Each structure stands twice: as structure tokens, then as C-alpha cells.
Amino acid sequence: MPTNETMTILQKVNEAMNCAGAAAPVWSQTAPELRARFLETIAAEMEALASDLIQTAIQETNLDEARLNGERMRTTGQLRMYAAMLREGSWVEAAIDTALEARPDLRKMYTALGPVVVFGASNFPLAYSTAGGDTASALAAGCPVVVKAHPAHPRTSLLVAGAIDRAAAACNVPEGVFQHIEDEGFETGKALVVHPQTRAVGFTGSLSGGMALHGYAQQRPDPIPVFAEMGSVNPMLVLPEAVSKRGEAIAQACAGSITLGMGQFCTNPGLMLGIDCRGLRHFIEVLGQHITQSKSAPMLHPGIQQSYTEKLSKTLGSKGVFLAGQADAAAPSAAVAWVSGDDFLQNPHLHEEVFGPFSLMVLCKDAAQLAQALDALGGQLTCSLWAEPEDLQAMPELLDITRRKAGRIVLNGVPTGVAVAPAMTHGGPFPASTDSRFTAVGIHAVRRWVRPVSFQNFTDDLLPDELKNNNVRGIWRLVNNAWTRDDI
């Protein structure tokens, strides 16, 4: 029998989703200018919170002021980015094929899916949470959003939700376009996903959490998409010529990436691979020194710290794994370890993410084993290569493998730092994400919340503005296989 508390939660979810469902047809048909102004007003309201927002987030997450100020700028910047996208208008990908003798008049564009449930992320209390990229892109697409606040930073989430509510009131946004739910229970998340009004889900977090939500969505009578970004080990290849020519500089750059933000980025390089040689052994020694000299800091919350400590202990206790350098005794400590290619291939647990300031170096015996070890991994958000031209000429298969494995390939650089830009792919083959065709960052993230609809033989007065003969929006359209802004 459900408890009174469970019934209250289910009633809250039901009310929120029904309200979002009622708002969906209205919001999807609103003028792009209103949606753009709403997003810009959210950004302004977040900025108006000033130090209150930052200080609250510091208290709840242990992140420092500089990091959180940067994250707020990223959040408001992407809200304004989507506003600019709406005003420009070509994102709807309007396509028009006028009637021919053997073909009817056909016109196609993207249209909103409907209510979207967004789960706040633990490691980005602003940029991937209440007003983060999922919320911003879904609102831009014309979808109402119901946010489930992350329990690790509830007061921060509530402050941002208040900013969104004030922006909605200022812009006369229809009731139900944005709603905020606070509850720590797993039942709330499940109820949001399985509710019949929910049309899609956005999630950033662990593999177990993402797969649980995906499972609920697929068990519905009408399965819906769950766009889950679930992290990865982000393998980094350190190739022989690069190690020989600039090993110490590479080690310093890798150490900074591994320990950035106490390793709590989904693009943290948790695995490195190279061909065993004297230069690579020296690289590991130098990297270990940099890692152990790095400054320790509290992690986001006790749950993440405990998980990191447990997974690190399990990894370091595995057969053939050796610690490089002397790890800081303070917990949680940054660490780097190494293992042979043979032991790595025989232990699939070493292929899994240890979320925190840790990386495992795999010493492969030759180029063939390096390719084998890389190919043994699942899908990744990123793959990085430290390489000279001679390295890539000698091992061209590595580029083919990284293309298959990752959403973003980095050459001679670190993967930490995800630019909010149209050319950025933040996603990758499973298990990095549940659908590698989409990105969670940049204007193309909006494509997760829309579907194409064709209008056949419609009269001009019944068509959306984007598809009318007169190009009133002035957007780029594909008309009879030619891109143009001209009227028909």
C-alpha cells in the first residue's frame, strides 16, 4: 500500500505534468520573440541574484566563488545564445518542395515534442541544472519544462527557480511552462518519467541513474526518449614521439586536467594509454609528482566523496595496478596509477569510470595492443591524442577507433572544458550517452526536443510562418533543393 507521503508526491507530480501538458500546445505556438525575451529575462534575473546565489551554491557544493561565477556566466550566456537562435530562426530547418505533376506540395519543419522533464546535475549546480542547457534548449524549442531539483543543492535550485518564475511573470508566459519539484526520493523521478504527459527526459549524471530512467521510459505503453549524458573515462593516448619530444610538458597539462575541480567533470581524463618504453615510464613518474603536489579540496558532497574513495580503493587493489608517486593522505586525494596492457584487458572493471581526481595509465606492449585496449572500451564523450605527425602516420587505425568511440576527439590538448558553441559535440556512443546522434551543448542541443512534421497540400493561411510562401521570418529555407531566403 502506498504511504500518505508517496501519495502526496504522486499528486504533486500529476498536477505538475498535467499543467505542463495543458501549456504545451500554447507554448509551442508562441512567437519566437516571446520565447527569446523569456530566456533573456531569466538570464537577467539570475544576474540580479548577485552574491546570494553564489554564496548559497558555495555552502551547498564546496565549489569556490571563481568557479561558480564562471558557471553562472556560462548559464546566462547559453540562455542568451538560444534567444539569438530563436530570432535568427533557421534552426527549424524549414524545407519546401512545391507541387509538381507527380508530386504534391510538401513543407516540413521541426515542431516541439511537448513537456520535458529535466533532472538537475550534482556537479554543475547552475550550468546543468535548473536553468541549465537542458532547460534552456527545451524552452527554446517550445516545450514546457518540469525540473526535478538535485538533492545536493536544493536551495541553489530554488533560488534559480524563483528567477525563472519572475521572468515568466514579467514576460506573461503561460502558466505551466516552467515548474520546479523538490524531492529526494527515487519514486518522484520514476513518476515524472512514466507520467503520460511527459514527452522527453534530460539527465546528466551516473550510468546507473541514467539507465534507470531510460528503463522506466522504455516500459511505458508509449516509450519516450531519455537523453542521458552519463560520463565516461575519456581515454587519452600518449604516443611515443610526443612523449619523447615533450613528455614533461604533456605530464603537467594532464595533471592539471585530472585534478581540475577535484576531477568532478564528466570529461575528466580517467584513463591514459601508451606504448611501454623508458620515455613513458619517465612520463608516469613526472605525472605522479604533479598529481601528488596538487592541492586537495572537499568534493561536491559526501556521497560523491564516498563513492570516489570506494572506487579508488577497489581499483588500486586490483591485480597488477601500481600507484605512481605518493598519494596525499588527506581524503579525497588525487592519484594516478599504472597497469600493464595484459592486466587491463583481462579486467573489465578497470575500464569503468572512477569519478574524481584519478587516472589510470595503461602500458601496452606494442601498437597492436594499444589499439586493442582502446577498442575494448565502450563509448566515450571524448578521446584525446597527444601525438606527433609521425605517431599518426605509424598508427592510422587509432583515428578510426576514436571516431567510432567518441563524440569529440582532441588532438594535443585536454578534454576538460566544454565550449558552448555550435561545433561542440557533448555526447557519444553508449554508455557515454543514450543517443549518440545528439549533443547536450550548443544550439544543436535543441534537436533533442523536437520532431519533424510535414504539411502536405496545405493552403498558405494554414501553414506556420516559417513555411508560408512569403518568407516573413527571413530565415534560410531549403526550397526545391536550394537554400534561399527568398519568397516563393
Q: Say if CB 117 and CB 192 are below 8 A apart.
A: yes
Nearest to 330 by CA among 308, 359, 311: 308
Known catalytic membership, residue 364: no
Q: Which of 229, 352, 353, 466 is catalytic?
A: 229
CB 140 within 8 A of CB 35: yes
Judge whether 229 counts as a catalytic residue.
yes
183: left (phi over 0), alpha (psi -120 to 50) or beta: beta
CA distance 138 to 278: 51
Say whether the peptide bond before residue 332 is cis (omega within 30 degrees of 0). Answer: yes
- The Cα-based distances of 431 to 210, 281, 351 in angstroms read 10, 31, 12
209 to each of 115, 212, 268, 299, 385, how far by Cα in Å? 21, 5, 19, 20, 30
- Give yes or no for a contact between 94 and 80, defined as CB atoms under 8 angstroms apart: no
List the catalytic residue out of 19, 143, 266, 383: 266
| β pairing state of 380-386 and 358-364 | unpaired
Catalytic residues: 229, 266
